[in-house]
């Protein structure tokens, strides 16, 4: 059994204790940015009236989404609420085993995005635990597909998923060690 300490890309003096803090700070920043952007979107945008941001490329269009990303599972809001809650708990529990700054960033983005949308599901209309997520960012021309309307939290979840896939491909374990085999 390998008894060597986990390789960290954190503070060499303290190593892992700072990584859960980094995860938490990233998550809180994502939640704050997501909720502030949604507040402004609800305040300043009118449903059904898109606002051009970059002509022909990007616009803001306010919609309420009862489903998951790409409008999957529309009408299953309570299930998505349970899933987001479970994912959040798993990430918080996994934070103790962090040994990599890259994993801390990826899980912080994932946690922040999950909680950002979970807050919508819990506290927005039509009811507690069944609220609709506020989406407002829309790409107009995306090669090979119609890109769905999304929000800051969705962007962070997708970015986290890409980082996690990359870390897995590179063989970097949650503890920061290279996974071999």
Q: What is the pLDDT of residues 70-92, one digit of tens each?
A: 556 666 777 888 888 999 999 99
Which has the closest alpha carbon to 64: 74, 56, 54? 74
Q: Which long-range contacts (CB under 8 A, 24 or more apart) does 158-167 make?
A: 158/69, 159/109, 160/106, 160/107, 160/109, 160/110, 160/113, 161/110, 163/102, 163/105, 163/106, 163/109, 164/106, 164/110, 167/100, 167/102, 167/103, 167/106
The encoded tokens of residue 104 equal: 């801390």
pLDDT at site 83: 87
Maximum Cα interatomic distance, the chain, rounded to a whole number of Å: 62
Question: Which residues, in sequence order, are CB contacts of 68 under 8 Å at separation 6+?
Answer: 76, 80
Beta-carbon contacts of residue 52 (< 8 Å; ≥ 6 apart): 58, 59
- For residue range 91-138, what is the model confidence (pLDDT) as tens digits? 999 999 999 999 999 999 999 999 999 999 999 998 887 889 999 999
The predicted model gives 133-145 an average pLDDT of 82
Task: Give the strand pairing for 133-139 and 51-54.
Answer: unpaired
- Whether residue 61 has pLDDT greater than 80: yes
**Start-to-end Cα distance in the chain:** 15
User: For the chain, what percent of residues have pLDDT higher than 90?
Assistant: 63
- Residues making up the chain, counted from first to last: 181
Buried b vs exposed e over 55-84: b needs ≥16 C-beta within 10 Å?
eeeebbbbbebbbbbeeeeeeebeebbebb
Please identify every residue annotated as catalytic.
135, 154
Mean confidence (pLDDT) of the chain: 86
Cα distance between residue 154 and residue 168, in whole Å: 21
Write the DSSP string, 34-76.
HHHHHHHHHHH--TT--EEEETTTEEEEEEEESSSGGGTTTT-
Question: What does DSSP assign to residue 174?
Answer: T
């Amino acid at each position: 059994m390998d008894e060597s300490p986990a390789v960290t890309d954190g503070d060499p003096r303290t190593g892992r204790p700072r990584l859960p803090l980094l995860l938490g700070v990233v998550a809180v920043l994502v939640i704050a940015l997501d909720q502030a952007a949604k507040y402004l979107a609800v305040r300043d945008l009118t449903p059904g009236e898109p606002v051009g941001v970059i002509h022909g490329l990007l616009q803001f269009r306010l919609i309420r989404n009862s489903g998951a990303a790409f409008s999957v599972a529309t009408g299953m809001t309570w299930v998505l609420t349970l899933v987001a809650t479970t994912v959040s708990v798993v990430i918080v529990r996994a934070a103790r085993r962090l040994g990599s700054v890259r994993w801390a960033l990826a899980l912080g983005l994932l946690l922040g995005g999950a909680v950002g949308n979970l807050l919508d599901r819990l506290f927005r209309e039509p009811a507690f635990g069944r609220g609709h997520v506020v989406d407002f960012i829309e790409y107009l021309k995306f090669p090979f597909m119609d890109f769905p309307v999304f929000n800051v939290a969705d962007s962070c979840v997708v970015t986290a998923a890409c980082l996690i896939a990359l870390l897995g491909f590179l063989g970097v374990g949650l503890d920061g060690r290279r996974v071999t085999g």
